[in-house]
Structure 1
């Protein structure tokens, strides 16, 4: 997955999020398993045909009635493994809704002219992809939440020597101690996503970020802070020369790329492109490019169940229903060098994939070069696909988590030079051997509320506004999303506060 290697691997901040309206025109509720009393995450709450919202990971949802063209008389709640439930709208307000579980049936539910083996179902699914996957231009109203959780496992600056009196071992140790060992960063965006077979456009309606500005936002930021501390502790007529790529992503890329093959170098350079909080539209397109590029049927996706389908074993685990459609429940596990296990929910009538659950069983990438170590340790999630008015399917929900581990183990030489000295200006020197290790998890939650098929001119006529900026929050503000239908914030977001200095 092409993501900013340093921004996401070494992210030590917090970002944004959500509130919901609490007026009389807001329906709020929490979905609970009637048997276990546990929350039902990511359930569909439908209020019109092809329109609905999704409960969050805690089973909570809100619906702003003023945003709807007509007030619905009832809501229809559906989730895999639970009874489809219809409730009058006036019974939903500020309530807990208990949903009865429904087991996956193993036999005797569906009648077939011919019983198919699991491998035959997979082959028919692949054969029907051209008819089932939507390629027509479409406009989708979406909500996207990104949560980044970082954990620094080791910060050792490896002090060796210093002839600069101010840059002594005590100062270097204080810098290491000042770096926060864990952090979170939340961002949330509501917008319209325009898509054709070849291109994307994004109309950002509103966006927010929730994080602590005192935290370090990237590995480059760490370098700049260290440079600032260094410069504060040297003579006014001196300057520093830093002999390492640690403080400049560009320098570091240039030093690495010369030793790498062209294709691998290109991929790494793309991963290290910097996203800025001010460029919300471009940042959203970058995420969509990555997310849609990882769909199970795309070329070069990690989750390649099409070209590599023979590397898996398949078993019919039973039958179920999604959106009132009967589905085969197919389990898959590796039988060769494949990386994933999971389940496919395949429509019995047209063999379209309506849902896929997956989880990696081994590291997906191990990279080591010139003191840089990188591993992709986690890749798991759920993706759901809904049928459009043209009879084809498009992504309507994604819950994707991916984890990385990063280590930077390289020497650092800080040289003090005096600009008033002629000739060789070197005055003093600081030698370090940095060992920095961090793990992080990035979680994306995407909900598509509405789908509208458009023509090519409808796509071409929309011009992106790239000036939209995200609103920064030092703490959760429940009024920010008032009047908008979104996915409810979870407890961590609701309780987030930036601590005082």
Structure 2
């Protein structure tokens, strides 16, 4: 199929190249020329396969190493805006404005043969093997994980206690001192290596964590906090036993449950369990595995809009440009039982999906078993893909937000035992009926700055350094990332500080 644009793209003649004579950091903000609001997740392209993404406020920065060859124009672009070429001097302004551009509905592209939206979607599926990159690749990445927790209710449900030290006042005090809101940010810059066999390796260059160590980020944290307080208030020669196994990561299930219930409990344990993988590198690989598993063409992705396209209604709503390529803009929504609505941006020439925007319309999961309630309430985001030198596509940017809700409403027995007593060592008992409810939102922002195709030998030659650790910060320190290219932090991160540190 041949494609012709009805208007000409503005060409910038290269009048010559210049070189960076010293290490330079470019920092600015991209805003809408009409509203003066920041433009989130726009692309700032400063090399053929190099670029950065603006943060949710339109802020961006990148590092130019000494000796870097510069062309006359560095391009900024975003869906719905005119692509703009800027000089290095213009980029150094604190504010850069670009003009909105509406999605074209007609009269822009001429085709040898008009395709229906169903024809386009069939070609998307047919071309997947040719369009998806399976070659080994090295990707310089920046990953920001933002976790927000809200304790909606914590009722200890005190019933009785024969342990003098563990009275109602102490138990109620636990609920009072638990922070109701928690924030945990992890930022990592590194190199990610992958092969077509889904083998992953990570080399972390630098990482930081911002959080308050007093916060409660999971039910396990609450359990540890309670156990610590209990132990501080019992006799030295006594010890405590949690009768129900409540604070272990495993959810105890009665033997009478069916195999289906047991499997659901195992899956729930996996969802709710705190990350116990030792080390930053392994934790990064776990996140990559989860993120890459949710790419639209993967077999087990929640976003099954391609694999189960029959469950969705598609509509061709217009045309647009992404990275100088014309794209079909296709909206999708459920016909019946499907979960998502959104838009696909499909390359007109090769039918590659270049961007997906999506959001769920209902809970993705509802689980209830023996006083445990679990819901997956929110899943929305954007995936963006870029073309590699081998003419295949790989991830360039991801913004995922995943929301969960959890409730634990079960009795709990805390038994005091004395190690110096012969025979039956049970001395006293505390009985509670805990009602704990928590909402958790996990946001991932992944930017790939540089894609380099490698061979299997280069992959095998990399030895991971699993001793590297993230630097803990009770207060955001902008100097930590000085000299590195990252996605700029938003206002909440810039202002983050632990009270009373």
Q: TM-score, normalised by structure 2?
A: 0.92
Deviation string 1:101-142 (CA, Å, 9 cap, x unpaired) is 000000000001121111111111111101101111111100
Deviation string 1:226-264 (CA, Å, 9 cap, x unpaired) is 1121122222222222212221114x3576997553654
Q: 2:403 maps to what in 1? A: 403
Instruction: Say which SS state the counterpart of residue 150 (structure 1) adopts.
Output: strand
Per the TM alignment, residue 268 of structure 1 is displaced from its structure 2 partner at its CA by: 3.7
Deviation string 1:337-395 (CA, Å, 9 cap, x unpaired) is 10000000000011100000000000001111121110000000000000000000001
Counterpart Cα distance in 2 of 1:202 and 1:186 = 19
Q: 2:4 maps to what in 1? A: none
Q: 335-344 or 24-33, which moves further after superposition?
A: 24-33
Per the TM alignment, residue 69 of structure 1 is displaced from its structure 2 partner at its CA by: 3.0
Asked if the contact 1:124/1:351 (under 8 Å) is kept, the reply is yes
Q: 120-129 or 422-431, which moves further after superposition?
A: 422-431
* 1:61 partnered with 2:45: no
Asked if the contact 1:278/1:470 (under 8 Å) is kept, the reply is no
Counterpart Cα distance in 2 of 1:454 and 1:492 = 38
Q: 1:162–1:401: structure 2 CA closer, same or farther, 3 Å change rule?
A: same
Q: 1:154 maps to what in 2? A: 153
Asked if the contact 1:67/1:483 (under 8 Å) is kept, the reply is no
Q: 2:499 maps to what in 1? A: 499
Instruction: Say which SS state the counterpart of residue 292 (structure 2) adopts.
Output: helix
* 1:245 partnered with 2:245: yes
Asked if the contact 1:189/1:206 (under 8 Å) is kept, the reply is yes
Q: 1:197 maps to what in 2? A: 196
Asked if the contact 1:403/1:439 (under 8 Å) is kept, the reply is yes
Counterpart Cα distance in 2 of 1:46 and 1:351 = 23
Q: 1:214 maps to what in 2? A: 214
Counterpart Cα distance in 1 of 2:67 and 2:383 = 26
Q: 229-238 or 191-200, which moves further after superposition?
A: 229-238
Q: 1:292–1:402: structure 2 CA closer, same or farther, 3 Å change rule?
A: same
Q: 2:117 maps to what in 1? A: 118
Asked if the contact 1:396/1:448 (under 8 Å) is kept, the reply is yes
Counterpart Cα distance in 2 of 1:48 and 1:423 = 76
Q: 1:271–1:221: structure 2 CA closer, same or farther, 3 Å change rule?
A: same
Instruction: Say which SS state the counterpart of residue 236 (structure 2) adopts.
Output: coil
Higher relative contact order (CA 8 A, sep 6+): 1
Per the TM alignment, residue 422 of structure 1 is displaced from its structure 2 partner at its CA by: 2.3
Counterpart Cα distance in 2 of 1:274 and 1:238 = 29
* 1:31 partnered with 2:30: yes
Deviation string 1:27-65 (CA, Å, 9 cap, x unpaired) is 111101011211100110011101101111000011222
Q: 1:491–1:260: structure 2 CA closer, same or farther, 3 Å change rule?
A: farther
Per the TM alignment, residue 305 of structure 1 is displaced from its structure 2 partner at its CA by: 1.4
Per the TM alignment, residue 67 of structure 1 is displaced from its structure 2 partner at its CA by: 6.6
Per the TM alignment, residue 221 of structure 1 is displaced from its structure 2 partner at its CA by: 2.6
Q: Give structure 2 stretches of 5+ with no counterpart.
A: 1-21
Instruction: Say which SS state the counterpart of residue 229 (structure 2) adopts.
Output: helix
Task: Kindly report structure 1 stretches of 4+ aligned residues shifted beyond 6 Å.
Answer: 254-258
Counterpart Cα distance in 1 of 2:276 and 2:497 = 23
Q: 1:166–1:352: structure 2 CA closer, same or farther, 3 Å change rule?
A: same
Per the TM alignment, residue 407 of structure 1 is displaced from its structure 2 partner at its CA by: 0.5
Q: 2:348 maps to what in 1? A: 348
Instruction: Say which SS state the counterpart of residue 301 (structure 2) adopts.
Output: coil
Q: 1:329 maps to what in 2? A: 329
Deviation string 1:425-459 (CA, Å, 9 cap, x unpaired) is 22221110001001111000000000011111111
* 1:102 partnered with 2:101: yes
Q: 2:294 maps to what in 1? A: 294
Instruction: Say which SS state the counterpart of residue 271 (structure 1) adopts.
Output: helix
Per the TM alignment, residue 336 of structure 1 is displaced from its structure 2 partner at its CA by: 1.6
Q: 1:455–1:24: structure 2 CA closer, same or farther, 3 Å change rule?
A: closer
Counterpart Cα distance in 1 of 2:185 and 2:320 = 35
Q: 2:456 maps to what in 1? A: 456
Counterpart Cα distance in 2 of 1:270 and 1:136 = 31
Q: How does 1:8-87 map to 2 (within 5 A)?
A: 25-66=24-65, 69-87=68-86
Q: 2:316 maps to what in 1? A: 316
Q: 1:394–1:258: structure 2 CA closer, same or farther, 3 Å change rule?
A: same
Aligned Cα root-mean-square deviation (Å): 1.9
Task: Give the number of aligned pairs.
Answer: 478
Q: 1:256–1:151: structure 2 CA closer, same or farther, 3 Å change rule?
A: farther
Instruction: Say which SS state the counterpart of residue 332 (structure 1) adopts.
Output: strand
* 1:187 partnered with 2:195: no
Q: 431-440 or 112-121, which moves further after superposition?
A: 112-121
Q: 451-460 or 64-73, which moves further after superposition?
A: 64-73
Counterpart Cα distance in 2 of 1:123 and 1:467 = 47
Q: 1:13 maps to what in 2? A: none
